[in-house]
Amino acid sequence: MGIYARLAKLHPKQCCIVCAEPSHHVVCQSCEYEFGVQEHRCLSCALPLNQPLDYCGNCLRTSPSFHRAFTLYDYEGVVAYLIKKMKYEARLSVAQFFAEKMTKKIDEIQASGHHYDAIIPMPLHTKRLRERGYNQVVELLRDLNKKGAPDTMSVQRVKQTAPMTDLSLAQRKKEIKGAFSLAEPLAHKRILLVDDVMTSGSSLNELAKIILKQSPAVICCDVLTLSRAQLSESQT
C-alpha cells in the first residue's frame, strides 16, 4: 500500500454530529469524552449514588418489579442531544454508534455472571412505529444479530400511551398501566429488557410486571438502558 493510500485511510471521512469537527465516527472522541458516566449506581434502579450504598432510598422503600438495572450513561448534555437526534430525527447513524456500546455493555454484564436466555427491546405501539418508521431500541441492539437476534415478537404494546416527558410520576404509572401484552407465557428463565432512556422506570416496571405475572418460568427480569434520567422536582 502506497503512502497516499495510507494517508487516505487516516483521514476523517465525516463530521461529528455534535461539534461538526472532522471525525472518523459520527461522534468525535472529544465529544464522547463529555458523556456523563457514573460508576456507582443503585443496583435496583441504576440512579447515581453519592454514598457507598447498594440501593437508593426509593428502592429500599418500594423495590421495582424488575430485579437489577444497568445503564451506560447519564441522560444529560451530549448524550441527551444524541438520543433526541436518534429518536426524533431518524439519525440512525447515532443508533449505529451506540449499538456498538450497547453490545459491549451486554457482553460485560454477561461476563460478570448475569446470563440471559432472551433480550427484549421495549416495544412501540404499531401506530407509533408506522409514524417513526423504526424502533430506536431495536436499532440499538442491531449488533446483537451477529450473536443472536433480540426477541421482538413475544411482547406487544397494545395501548398507545401519551408522551410522558411532562407527566408526573403518578400520571406516568397510570398512563402506562395495561400498555403491554404477551403473545403467550415466556419459557425463558432469565430475561434482559432494554430501553433507550429510563426516567421514572414506569414503562420498564410495567413491562417486567406483566412478564413476571404471566410467565411462571421467568425467575429473573433485569433491565438495561442506554441512559438514566431523573424526574425533576415538579414531576415527583
Note the pTM of the prediction, 2 decimals: 0.91
Average pLDDT over residues 73-96: 95
Number of domains in the chain: 2
Q: Is residue 234 part of a domain?
A: no
- For residue 196, what are the domain limits? 39-228
Q: Is residue 156 part of a domain?
A: yes
Nearest to 173 by CA among 199, 202, 200: 202
pLDDT of residue 195: 98
> Do 91 and 5 share a structural domain?
no
Q: Is residue 19 part of a domain?
A: yes
Question: How does strand 69-74 pair with strand 220-228?
Answer: parallel
> Do 186 and 95 share a structural domain?
yes
Q: Is residue 235 part of a domain?
A: no
Answer yes or no: is pLDDT of 154 > 90: yes
pLDDT of residue 149: 83
> Do 26 and 5 share a structural domain?
yes
C-alpha cell at 226: 442506554
Answer yes or no: is pLDDT of 233 > 70: no
Q: Dihedral (C-alpha) 132, 135, 139, 144: value to the nearest 10 degrees?
A: -160
Grade residue 14 by pLDDT with cuts at 50, 70 and 90. confident
> Do 48 and 29 share a structural domain?
no
Grade residue 7 by pLDDT with cuts at 50, 70 and 90. very low
Q: Tell me the range of 8-12, 49-53, 147-151, 206-210 where mean pLDDT is highest.
A: 206-210
C-alpha cell at 45: 434502579
Looking at residue 166, the DSSP 8-state letter turns out to be T
Dihedral sign (CA 25, 121, 77, 66): negative
Average pLDDT over residues 19-43: 92
